[in-house]
Amino acid sequence: MYSEGHKVKIPPRGWAILAMVGPSIIWCAEYIGSGEVILATRTGAILGPAILWAVVAGIFLKFWIGLSGARYTVTTGEGMIDMFSRIPGPKNWVVWMVMVIQSLTAMLAIGSIASAAGIFLNSMVPVSPVIGGWIITIFCLAVAWSGVFNFLKIIMSLFVLVIIVGVIYVAATALPEGKELIPALKLAVPEVPAWAMDYSGIGKNPWKEILPLLGWGAGGFASQVWYSYWVLGAGYGAANGRPYGEPADTEVLKSYNVTDAKHIKGWGKVVAVDATVGMVIGIVVTSGFLLAGAGILRPMHLAPDGAEVATQLATIFSVNWGKTGDFVFMFSATMALISTQIGQLAGWPRLLADSARICIPAVKRKFSWKQQYRFILVLFFISNMVIVHTFGLKPVTLVKLSAILDGLLLTPLQAVWIGIALYFVMPKMFSREVGRLLKPHWIYCLGLVIAFLVFGYFCVFQIPSYF
């Protein structure tokens, strides 16, 4: 409901805010996949519960990046890529950087999910992992192409819920003693055990296991961009009624008055609650998988790898629930990976279509946003076929590499760009009085600065050692 003479809907208050929670649920359904099913469990098996701090720290810091970007969308009505186009400097320099790097990482990440999902499907259905990966790719492409995936998202979320409940149960029953968790409070980096180094690709450097976990905990760079799209779709604040693929209407923003600004601030509280829900779910789920791996796979000296990744991970459930647990894990994990694939195929084409629209104006003049979106989907379909056929039996390698490229490489810069947009660019899009009222609280700046410093450290000092 709009207040008389004003342009922004009156925000919900109190418990009514919880009824508006939605974008974070889509966000969680998208990122609860290979990062949790494979990476967290594997890292727990290799390094134990002492590395739990990495899960909490990584997701908490990305929370500030996602929340700050969503706060911008609530205030202006445009997504994060359009925000990047307003960063001072050479025209669209940030968007060009994002488009080039994300074009590569998108193909790798989507291909890694298809490869992993194909292996899990192979564990239940008599098809090869490669054929399974192709089947899942075609299915997810068809869903993303039509755009009708809201109902399917609900179904997939139910499957994800099954695996969440199960892994929390297993983690609770296999919870290590308190003394084993003390190193996590000290931010300790444990040594890689000798037995783990018998597995291909595992060396003495523990950061080779920690960095991918940090990279895909709560999703990577792209997931934070997509969260701004889901906020757009939910119609929070100035995003109400705004379509995808268009920059903010600056004339409308300039006409906002003090009452509109107060309404926007109210919607800022809504998105803060929404993002917090996503953060809590992410920490609980990822911690559950990590502790389950530490409690069950680590004593067995199992580190999920290669084509046997599905059967090794299924040990988590079968130890406690027998064959039924084995099937529940396999089925739910496959559904979680498919859900993630659909989310990625819905998100990355939006990101790249926006980038192309901004960097290459002729694209916007010749093709509609939907045509751009579908063209990019076709490219992803082709790249998926190549990646699945070539690397289909090496899902862990693909998942870890894509986690580094998408989850860490641009993340510190993303924190800086969002900070510049929030505190220097955004206020100028409104009248002076309204801009002053809408300037975010200093806590957003603190969160972004810490995220920049922490992820910047990983990029400068740890990523080189990964390769």
- CA–CA–CA angle 2, 5, 11 (5° rounding): 30
Between CA 429 and CA 412 the distance in angstroms is 25
Q: Which of 65-69, 110-114, 144-148, 355-359 has the lowest mean pLDDT?
A: 144-148
Say yes or no to pLDDT of 4 above 70.
Answer: no
Give pLDDT, residue 149.
Answer: 46
pLDDT digits (tens, 9 = 90+) for 323-335: 777 777 777 777 7
Say yes or no to pLDDT of 394 above 70.
Answer: no
Cβ pair 337, 116 in contact under 8 A: yes
Confidence of residue 234 (pLDDT cuts 50, 70, 90): confident
What domains sit in the chain, N to C, each tagged with a CATH number? Answer: 14-466 (1.10.4160.10)
Confidence of residue 431 (pLDDT cuts 50, 70, 90): very high
Closest-CA residue to 234 (of 9, 4, 2, 6): 9
Q: Which of 77-81, 254-258, 398-402 has the lowest mean pLDDT?
A: 398-402
> How do the residues of the chain divide into helix, strand and coil, expressed in percent and rounded to 5?
80, 0, 20
- What percentage of residues in the chain have a pLDDT greater than 70? 91
Say yes or no to pLDDT of 64 above 70.
Answer: yes
Between CA 59 and CA 279 the distance in angstroms is 7
Say yes or no to pLDDT of 389 above 70.
Answer: no
β-pair partners for 2: 9
Between CA 215 and CA 406 the distance in angstroms is 7
> First vs last Cα of the chain: how many Å apart?
54
Question: What value does the mean pLDDT take over residues 394-421?
Answer: 84
- Selected residue with higher pLDDT from 8 and 269: 269
Give pLDDT, residue 153.
Answer: 57
pLDDT digits (tens, 9 = 90+) for 129-178: 888 888 888 888 888 886 554 665 566 667 667 767 777 777 777 777 77
Q: How confident is the prediction for the chain on average, in pLDDT?
A: 84
- Selected residue with higher pLDDT from 434 and 402: 434
Q: Burial letters for 341-372: b for 16+ Cβ neighbours within 10 Å, e otherwise?
A: bbbbbbbbbbbbbbbbbbbeeebbeebebeeb
Question: What value does the mean pLDDT take over residues 419-425?
Answer: 96
Question: What value does the mean pLDDT take over residues 114-134?
Answer: 82
Question: What value does the mean pLDDT take over residues 455-467?
Answer: 84
pLDDT digits (tens, 9 = 90+) for 251-302: 999 999 999 999 999 999 999 999 999 899 888 888 888 888 888 888 889 8
Crossing angle for the helix pair 221-234 and 23-31, to the nearest 10 degrees: 150
Cβ pair 199, 46 in contact under 8 A: no
Q: Which of 33-37, 49-53, 443-447 has the lowest mean pLDDT?
A: 33-37
